[in-house]
Amino acid sequence: MIADQRHVARAAARLIGAERRTVAMMMLLSALAALAGLGAPYLLGRVIDTVGAGGGVTDVDRLALAVVGCAVAETLLNRYALGAAYRFGERTAARIRETFLRRVLALPASVAERVPTGDLVARGTTDVDTVATTLRDVLPGMFLSVVQMIFLVAAVIVLDPLLGVSGVLGLSGIWFTARYYLRRARAVYLAEGQANSRLAEELSATTTGARTVEALGLHRRRLDAGRAAIAETRRTRLRSLALRSVFFPVAETVYAVPAVLVLLLGGVLYADGRVSLGTVAAAVLYLRQLVNPLDTILIYMEQVQSSGAAFARIEGVATIPAPPAVTAGVPDGDRIEVIGVRYAYGTGPDVLHDVDLTVRPGERLAVVGLSGAGKSTLGRLLAGVDRPTAGSVLAGGVPIADLPPDLLRRQVVLCTQEHHVFRDTLRANLMTAAPDEELHRALRTVGADWADDLDRDLGATPLDGAQAQQLALARVLLADPHTVILDEATALLDPTAARTAERALAAVLHERTVIAIAHRLQTAHDADRVAVMHAGRIIEIGAHDDLLAAGGPYADLWHSWHGDESNVSS
């Protein structure tokens, strides 16, 4: 997800266009400041010529007063130019942050889940901060420096074309130096950004899964992964350091050349009587004034390249193909149908094969099977998270994956053991504008007796896994869809709490369709029907008692779960 240079250029043009008035004001004030800055060297040259010609103190004082006036004007104009530039930088940085967040939130769920968390975090924090810093602190000064440099070179040419040409020839070394740097910088800084993303991903995964690491003794493996990511980050940063170590010393040497050439040529021309001493002095002063803008440009060029790579990563989110635009109808009823469905992750082999299933409104269906049978994948298709490779998944006769998000979540909600708790109040985490009594009722239903204060800050007092899962179940109740898909939704609760929560959910979701991806077969026992999956296919479907009596795969699972080989009836 890296935007190409053409896409980045278009995005930058849009950002500038959104602030065209501020940019125009910045350019005008910068040009006026640069013009005012040309006055002092020219007037100092006049002072030299006036003194050489035997001029009086009055003439010199008048010229000196004009020099002071030019300096004051340049200072004031620079101040207002930088003010306009900072306004542009802050507004544009805010626009980039808001656009990035909007794009991330608009990503299809299937895409967002496959993007490494650390990568998105790095783009939304490190990369956005890099671009914001450049817009706020670098570009204003760099733009002023470019304008000053152009005007200074033009002033030398106006003073004496021959001196101006020699100054421009002296500047050519900077062009070659910059070309060497720019041809290599983008790739170097993109590699550094990718290494930063990988490091953020490794640290995020280790921190988030700390309990799993502790329980399974994965310390050494996670340490090795972290060290490898740190080593890669160090290597990429050393490459960028090596590039800067060549660029800056050479540039510092090269940009002193123009003044030296003008001094040598000016001395020859003055000795010939072709230019005055004041003209040579003014030309040298102009070229010496180039040092400050050149310093600024060269120092900031590294930051601009780094932020250019960061901006390409930020804009890369916009290059993710949008799902095909479809006009879905309004579902006619709550019937769920799966017709001839096949599904494969990416370009891999099919993990679901010719699945057919009809779920009647208000039915409680349990989907069981060994790990890897395709249960969770089927659940994602039923929830509209993924789109089938072939076949159809319909809600009320309309493809579920084609429904807009607001309508989709009124039809189907998927609740898994993977959930998120926002660093906000309990009320905000329930994400609904329902009355407090309704919020409390939902929390009590799922057994969240700890949740008595809706204004409790969950960022200051983090929840454990079981509490977070109860919060997720409460969200499902408040969403009130016609179909609820529970995929290990009570897995983090202890068996007693899980059973209590499941019974409470069953009571509250009465007359709602409930599809439970069952990992505890007690859930299947309570269902109206049980669908047994194996190797991506539904191989049995029927009522619990009927499947036990049939003595097929479900009966084997049931007996194995109970730890015996005898028939167990309900």
DSSP labels for 147-199? HHHHHHHHHHHHH-HHHHHHHHHHHHHHHHHHHHHHHHHHHHHHHHHHHHHHH
Average pLDDT of span 402-424: 80
Q: CB-based contacts of 442: which residues, under 8 Å, 6+ apart?
A: 430, 474, 477, 478
Average pLDDT of span 221-244: 90
User: 43 and 66 in contact (C-beta within 8 Å)?
Assistant: yes
Distance CA 396, CA 337 (A): 8
Confidence tier at 569 by pLDDT (50, 70, 90)? very low
Q: In which domain, by residue range, is 478 found?
A: 336-562
- Of 319, 354, 381, which residue constitutes the final position of a domain? 319
Are 264 and 349 in the same domain?
no
Q: How far apart are the first and last CA of the chain?
A: 54
Are 27 and 114 in the same domain?
yes
SS3 content of the chain, % helix, strand, coil (to 5): 65, 10, 25
Is the model's pTM score more than 0.95? Answer: no
Q: How confident is the model at residue 563, as a pLDDT?
A: 64
Are 15 and 43 in the same domain?
yes
Q: How confident is the model at residue 327, as a pLDDT?
A: 60
What is the sign of the dihedral through the CA atoms of 26, 30, 36 and 37?
A: positive
Mean of pLDDT over the chain: 82
Residue-wise pLDDT for 267-312, tens only, equals 888 888 888 888 888 888 878 788 788 878 877 877 787 788 888 8
Residue 262 has pLDDT above 90, yes or no: no
Tokens of 108: 């299809």
Residue 203 belongs to a domain: no
Residue 566 has pLDDT above 50, yes or no: no
Average pLDDT of span 85-109: 85
Tell me the CA distances in angstroms from 178 to 181, 185, 299, one per residue in order.
Answer: 5, 10, 12
Q: How confident is the model at residue 570, as a pLDDT?
A: 38
Are 397 and 258 in the same domain?
no
Residue 529 has pLDDT above 60, yes or no: yes
Strands 483-487, 364-369: pairing kind:
unpaired
Residue 201 belongs to a domain: no
Distance CA 339, CA 254 (A): 72
Residue-wise pLDDT for 200-219, tens only, equals 888 888 887 887 888 778 88
Q: How confident is the model at residue 460, as a pLDDT?
A: 75
Q: How confident is the model at residue 376, as a pLDDT?
A: 87
Residue-wise pLDDT for 432-467, tens only, equals 777 888 888 888 888 888 888 888 888 777 787 778
Annotate 432-452 with b (16+ C-beta within 10 A) or e (fewer).
beeeeeebeebbebbbbeebe
- Of 319, 351, 369, which residue constitutes the final position of a domain? 319
Element (H, E) at 548: helix 544-550
User: 481 and 383 in contact (C-beta within 8 Å)?
Assistant: no
Tokens of 359: 């779920």
Residue 331 belongs to a domain: no
Are 370 and 421 in the same domain?
yes
Are 278 and 344 in the same domain?
no
Where are the strands (E) in 417-493, listed by range? 483-487
Confidence tier at 337 by pLDDT (50, 70, 90)? very high
Tokens of 366: 């349990």
Nearest to 229 by CA among 207, 208, 198, 205: 198
Residue 489 has pLDDT above 70, yes or no: no
Are 379 and 496 in the same domain?
yes
Tokens of 208: 């988030």
With vertex at residue 501, the alpha carbon angle to CA 495 and CA 507, rounded to the nearest 5 degrees, is 140
Annotate 181-207 with b (16+ C-beta within 10 A) or e (fewer).
beebbeebbbbbbbbbbbbbbbbbbbe
Tell me the CA distances in angstroms from 123 to 198, 200, 309, 335, 458, one per residue in order.
Answer: 11, 10, 11, 41, 26
Q: What is the CATH number of the domain that holds 22?
A: 1.20.1560.10
Element (H, E) at 15: helix 5-18
Distance CA 555, CA 568 (A): 9
Are 12 and 118 in the same domain?
yes
Are 550 and 409 in the same domain?
yes
Are 377 and 309 in the same domain?
no
Q: CB-based contacts of 228: which residues, under 8 Å, 6+ apart?
A: none
User: 353 and 536 in contact (C-beta within 8 Å)?
Assistant: yes
Are 293 and 359 in the same domain?
no
Amino acid identity at 97: R
- Of 319, 344, 374, which residue constitutes the final position of a domain? 319
Are 356 and 311 in the same domain?
no
Q: How confident is the model at residue 538, as a pLDDT?
A: 92
Average pLDDT of span 361-390: 89
Q: How confident is the model at residue 530, as a pLDDT?
A: 92
Q: How confident is the model at residue 568, as a pLDDT?
A: 41
Environment class of residue 567 by beta-carbon count within 10 Å: exposed (0-12), middle (13-18) or buried (19+)? exposed
Q: How confident is the model at residue 127, as a pLDDT?
A: 87
Tokens of 104: 């991330």
Number of domains in the chain: 2
Strands of the sheet with 336-344, listed across from one edge:
350-359, 336-344, 390-395, 398-399
Residue 15 has pLDDT above 90, yes or no: no
Residue 195 belongs to a domain: no
pLDDT > 70: what percent of the chain?
Answer: 92
